[in-house]
Structure 1
Amino acid sequence: MSIERPWLAHYPEGVPPQIDVNQYASVAAVVEEAFERFRHRPAFTSFGKILSYGQVDELSRQFAGYLTGTLKLSKGDRIAIMMPNVLQYPIALFGALRAGLVVVNTNPMYTARELKHQLEDSGAKAIVVLDNFASTLQQVVADTHVEHIITTGIGDLLGAKGVLINFVLKHVKKMVPAYSLPTAVRFADALSQGAPHPLPKVQLGHDDLAFLQYTGGTTGVAKGAMLSHGNMVANMMQAGAWIGKNVKPGEEVIITALPLYHIFSLTANGLVFMRLGGLNWLITNPRDMPAFVKELKKSKFTALTGVNTLFNGLLNTPGFADVDFSRLHLTLGGGMAVQRAVAERWKKVTGCTLAEAYGLTETSPAACINPLDLKDYNGSIGLPIPSTDVAIWSEDNQPLPIGEVGELMVSGPQVMKGYWQRPDETAKVLGPDGWLHTGDVARMDESGYVYIVDRKKDMILVSGFNVYPNEVEDVVMQHPGVAEVAAVGVPDEHSGEVVKLFVVRKDPKLTVEELKKFCHDNLTGYKRPKIIEFRDSLPKSNVGKILRRELRDEKKTAAAS
């Protein structure tokens, strides 16, 4: 299929059309180069403790030694990491990758059912788990392939202060439910047992798996996207080429509030900025917004990644406007649609444009990013990044002309190898020619900018007309009395479906009538919400993405009962 690439003419100055993915054989090779190059620079900080690149090198070597020398794990064995953003995460991550293991990133908020599925499905032989979540593991571990358990507390690498933190979390705040895992080894003991073992010599290439990154849990059974070392190296280099001249190696401080077990944060913060010698400022609990703002005031940060709800939450937290934004030059939004009202307010408060990016777990994740010299929010997810092709296809898999709306398709070296042990699911999304079906409805303009219209499965059909929730939500967020909103379709005997809004109020006096009038003035008839329900909060995923499906399912459950 011949591809028009109008986006290349609109690339920022200095961004190449292609990257050389053969520059590195593996993620481990990239990491080891950073350890050498930035040895004395700070790499990660959490709760006031800073680890240099040299220290992360040494500690991850010890962990790799433990995995291969003590536990006798081999190249290709899977290890689950079930931790939020704490210093132990990068040590376990880099140790596992240097040992040639496949990392299974595991959401610490999983229920026992979800955890059991992921451990069983991946065949993980080992798991590193934070004490706070070990009781969940205890419920299911006997039914999995896990042979080795490593436990750790939030304060374990923080010295004397860490002892106090662990005590308070367990005994005062009661945040560590009692558990019994008699064979478990403490993280610190694993490091000392690994220290005498040499760093294993593992040959890694582009086809070797680096991650099983689970996705799709909100749409059915979670599937493990097989992300190879080649996929991850490609995406690090693509994103690195894109931000190129906008960053200074060894001088960046990036706020890492999204969990590193999520693909966006893992690649963008944990890997791309590590290759640049940046300092990852780890935020363990970003939902505690007042504490988060206090951290921002200490950090002299230069870059921040997040999802729309995170930016919106910060903007609505007292004290955020007083943060020093003088060094901030890069704000990247992804994971869900960035809303115009949030982006415009972000620019006004911080002076930094909120540039939207787009990706999927299946693309490691970046596929499109807006130019970083963008003056203002433009409603687009940006241009396809180097070595990436993007096309808009019709229902019968034919490329559509510029400006037409269809399914967004992506091809490039960052596209996954497939879903772990699910050839049938792989075949549904990945063609033999390497094109990935994203499930997103989009259009492309004549300059190559891509605009997401909505998720295929979230589309609402009102009397035969397509209504895209993103558009409705974007409009409703312009109302000064609205803090958060979700739009879903609910059954209607006259029009098939109607639009229902779930709204969290910023102004407690906001009424249904006032909001309906606002929608009447700003939306055409069939797009206007027929039902509005006020809520104190909306259901969200682990990274703060609003879960429309849960709101839809509530209605189905209520109707069935």
Structure 2
Amino acid sequence: MEKIWLKEYPPGIPAEIDLNEFSSLKDILEKSCARYAERPAYSNLGMTLRYRDVERLSRDFGAFLQRQGLQKGDRIALMMPNLLQYVVAVFGVLRVGMVVVNVNPLYTPRELEHQLIDSGATAIVIAENFAHTLQEVIAKTPLKTVVMTQLGDLLPMPKRLLVNFAIKYVKKLVPAWHIPGTISFRAALKAGSGQALTDTPLGHDDLAFLQYTGGTTGVAKGAMLTHGNLVANLQQASAWLYPFLRLGEEVVITALPLYHIFSLTANCLTFMKLGGENILITNPRDLPGLVKELSKIRFTIITGVNTLFNGLLHVPGFAQLDFSTLKVSLGGGMAVQRAVAENWRQVTGMPLIEAYGLTETSPAVCINPLTLVDYNGSIGLPLPSTDVAILDDENRKRGIGEDQTGELCVRGPQVMYGYWNRPEETAKVMTDDGYLRTGDIAYVDKLGYIRIVDRKKDMILVSGFNVYPNEVEDVVARHPGVREVAAVGVPDEKSGEAVKIVVVKKDPALTADALIAHCREHLTGYKLPRRVEFRSELPKSNVGKILRRLLRDG
């Protein structure tokens, strides 16, 4: 498709990026740490790491991993909320050419077991709060090294002891666990500090992340994101931001979890490249606490999903914050709603800029111009060096205009290498000429803005997280009182969409509460059904396929 959107680019934004400026994420990190050495880089729980601290601590952690006998290409799982330890670990892993496997710390044992086995991770860094989950499955996994961290491990004394004591014994947020042979995070850093770091040459083709996303079969798949993929997306994001920001001076609020691709790239990595400071929010569900934290900070950037922005707008005291330094409010992960965007602008004086991406695209594909004044209902313009195509059901390319609707497909240097050990699944989403099928139905308007109109896949989007119906259905179907089940997404004011299950009973005494309790044992919170409906039968096609569309409409 002709790149008509280039005419809508704000001044100073190039049509193409220089992909060869950096050889790897390691290259970007080391240059940023040298350039911004004395600048604050990441702050959390009242503690700030400067860029020189990030360089030193990640070097120590990388040396520790090498000392354990781990090699380039080995997979290292990270399972923790937003903490300074995550930053140290992720950069330590990347600097020695190993592969980060991000794990949602709220996963159930079933979900964790699948991801560890599928990725082949041989080491994990995990917050002690979630060790009880790992304990249940570790014997079935390839793990050989377990690094355990407490939330306050990188805080100075005596605050470190006070925070760790309060988390464990006052708030009782650490269930009992027993995993022999674990190594504390602080001990790992100490062990690495006395060791030389063996330099590991890295290039664009080297794997950086296995970022897991749901699958149409209900099995989570690891999107293989290379150093080249992430370098490309950082170059694209930087090009979009450069004309509006000041290098080495921005302060970004990082409330979304870093294990999510949006926060990982848009916050942790992009603002590392730009020399900014990430304010890491460990518990974003505590919105009053978040507002209190925001009141202390002269922040310039905030990213989030629609539900976070909507939630903040309803917290007493938020409207009274000082927004005079705010430059960019970026919404992604799910659609930004017009009412939320308009309310946000009224309260903060700044537009809520919508962007669009996928795990498989590292993630950014489109973003609205930062010069946007009012909400426009689009997901924005394709980023530099990004091609899009609109394909109909026969794979024919469509043109410009609302009557040219089809599946949005993306081609660019940020598109994943493929799914880990799943060539058949990779083939399903890639076209012969290198486009990734997004599963979203869209059209390109006359100015080049992309507008999403529907979703081709049955995926449910809950507060920016993908929920795949087959995974929920598989869990529900295990209940002995269930004969048949279908899961669909239904509109929800708080989360955008919520999971609804429609069930045909085998046991007449089965209740909705019993099903939800069963699901809670096997599914993390955002995947849990919020609505349960019982029917005598499910609508099906003439070949027996459940017609989820009729269940959504009903």
Distance 1:131 1:256 in 2: 22
* 1:399 counterpart SS class: coil
1:322 to 300, 320, 323: 320
Cα 1:18–1:313 change in 2 (3 A) is: same
1:149 aligns with 2:150: no
Q: Could you say which residue in structure 2 is the equivalent of 1:555?
A: 533
Q: Could you say which residue in structure 1 is the equivalent of 2:437?
A: 437
Distance 1:204 1:485 in 2: 40
2:116 to 107, 111, 119: 119
Cα 1:484–1:215 change in 2 (3 A) is: closer
Cα 1:486–1:212 change in 2 (3 A) is: closer
Aligned amino acid, residue 46 of structure 2: G
1:417 aligns with 2:417: yes
* 1:299 counterpart SS class: coil
1:83 to 80, 84, 98: 80
1:252 aligns with 2:230: no
Q: Which of 426-435 and 129-138 deviates more?
A: 426-435
CA deviation after TM superposition for structure 1 residue 557, in Å: 8.6
Distance 2:242 2:534 in 1: 48
Cα 1:347–1:558 change in 2 (3 A) is: farther
Cα 1:145–1:380 change in 2 (3 A) is: same
Cα 1:300–1:558 change in 2 (3 A) is: farther
Aligned amino acid, residue 5 of structure 1: K
Aligned amino acid, residue 533 of structure 2: K
| Superposed CA offset, 1:50-101 (max 9, x none) | 1100011000000000000x20111000000001100000100000000110
Asked whether the equivalents of residues 80 and 103 of structure 1 are also in contact (C-alpha less than 8 Å), the reply is: yes
Cα 1:459–1:427 change in 2 (3 A) is: closer
Structure 1 unaligned regions, length at least 5: 461-468, 492-538
1:103 aligns with 2:100: yes
Distance 2:216 2:58 in 1: 33
CA deviation after TM superposition for structure 1 residue 304, in Å: 0.5
Taking the TM superposition and a 5 Å limit, the aligned residue runs for 1:345-360 are 345-360=343-358
* 1:140 counterpart SS class: helix
CA deviation after TM superposition for structure 1 residue 425, in Å: 0.4
Cα 1:322–1:559 change in 2 (3 A) is: farther
Cα 1:557–1:253 change in 2 (3 A) is: farther
Aligned amino acid, residue 378 of structure 2: S
1:455 aligns with 2:455: yes
Q: Could you say which residue in structure 1 is the equivalent of 2:398?
A: 400
Distance 1:72 1:24 in 2: 28
Q: Could you say which residue in structure 1 is the equivalent of 2:238?
A: 240
Alignment length (residue pairs): 490
Distance 1:302 1:390 in 2: 31
Q: Which of 448-457 and 239-248 deviates more?
A: 448-457
Taking the TM superposition and a 5 Å limit, the aligned residue runs for 1:45-194 are 45-68=43-66, 70-159=67-156, 160-194=158-192
Asked whether the equivalents of residues 41 and 48 of structure 2 are also in contact (C-alpha less than 8 Å), the reply is: yes
Q: Could you say which residue in structure 1 is the equivalent of 2:474?
A: none
Aligned amino acid, residue 368 of structure 1: C
Cα 1:278–1:125 change in 2 (3 A) is: same
Distance 2:417 2:382 in 1: 20
| Superposed CA offset, 1:464-501 (max 9, x none) | xxxxx99x95xxx9xxxx6666488999xxxxxxxxxx
Distance 2:324 2:4 in 1: 35
Distance 2:314 2:40 in 1: 31
Asked whether the equivalents of residues 258 and 543 of structure 1 are also in contact (C-alpha less than 8 Å), the reply is: no
Distance 2:355 2:529 in 1: 25
* 2:177 counterpart SS class: coil
Aligned amino acid, residue 88 of structure 1: Q
Q: Could you say which residue in structure 1 is the equivalent of 2:26?
A: 28
Asked whether the equivalents of residues 25 and 230 of structure 1 are also in contact (C-alpha less than 8 Å), the reply is: yes
CA deviation after TM superposition for structure 1 residue 555, in Å: 3.3
Taking the TM superposition and a 5 Å limit, the aligned residue runs for 1:286-365 are 286-365=284-363
* 1:284 counterpart SS class: coil
Q: Which of 157-166 and 183-192 deviates more?
A: 157-166
Cα 1:393–1:300 change in 2 (3 A) is: same
Identity, % of aligned positions = 59
CA deviation after TM superposition for structure 1 residue 459, in Å: 9.6
Cα 1:448–1:59 change in 2 (3 A) is: same
CA deviation after TM superposition for structure 1 residue 433, in Å: 1.8
Distance 2:535 2:221 in 1: 25
CA deviation after TM superposition for structure 1 residue 165, in Å: 1.3
Aligned amino acid, residue 437 of structure 1: R
CA deviation after TM superposition for structure 1 residue 203, in Å: 1.1
Asked whether the equivalents of residues 43 and 278 of structure 1 are also in contact (C-alpha less than 8 Å), the reply is: yes
* 1:103 counterpart SS class: strand
1:382 to 380, 383, 386: 380
Distance 1:252 1:284 in 2: 20
Q: Could you say which residue in structure 2 is the equivalent of 1:512?
A: none
Asked whether the equivalents of residues 308 and 336 of structure 1 are also in contact (C-alpha less than 8 Å), the reply is: yes
CA deviation after TM superposition for structure 1 residue 431, in Å: 2.1
CA deviation after TM superposition for structure 1 residue 231, in Å: 0.3
Distance 1:65 1:306 in 2: 34
* 1:298 counterpart SS class: coil
| Superposed CA offset, 1:517-538 (max 9, x none) | xxxxxxxxxxxxxxxxxxxxxx
Cα 1:182–1:398 change in 2 (3 A) is: same
Aligned amino acid, residue 415 of structure 2: V
Aligned amino acid, residue 72 of structure 2: K
Cα 1:408–1:173 change in 2 (3 A) is: same
| Superposed CA offset, 1:113-146 (max 9, x none) | 0000000000001000000001101111110111
Asked whether the equivalents of residues 106 and 524 of structure 2 are also in contact (C-alpha less than 8 Å), the reply is: no
Using the size of structure 2 for normalisation, the TM-score is 0.85
Distance 1:181 1:442 in 2: 49
Cα 1:551–1:426 change in 2 (3 A) is: farther
Using the size of structure 1 for normalisation, the TM-score is 0.84
Aligned amino acid, residue 431 of structure 1: T
Q: Which of 183-192 and 197-206 deviates more?
A: 197-206
Cα 1:120–1:445 change in 2 (3 A) is: same
CA deviation after TM superposition for structure 1 residue 217, in Å: 6.1
Distance 2:162 2:346 in 1: 40
CA deviation after TM superposition for structure 1 residue 26, in Å: 0.5
CA deviation after TM superposition for structure 1 residue 432, in Å: 3.2
2:227 to 218, 226, 229: 229
Asked whether the equivalents of residues 392 and 443 of structure 1 are also in contact (C-alpha less than 8 Å), the reply is: yes
Q: Which of 194-203 and 141-150 deviates more?
A: 194-203
Distance 1:350 1:165 in 2: 33
Distance 1:49 1:207 in 2: 36
| Superposed CA offset, 1:270-317 (max 9, x none) | 111111110000000000001000111111100010000000110011
1:199 aligns with 2:197: yes
Distance 1:348 1:87 in 2: 34
* 2:262 counterpart SS class: helix
* 2:326 counterpart SS class: coil
Asked whether the equivalents of residues 378 and 452 of structure 2 are also in contact (C-alpha less than 8 Å), the reply is: yes
* 1:213 counterpart SS class: strand
Aligned amino acid, residue 61 of structure 1: R
Taking the TM superposition and a 5 Å limit, the aligned residue runs for 1:251-270 are 251-270=249-268
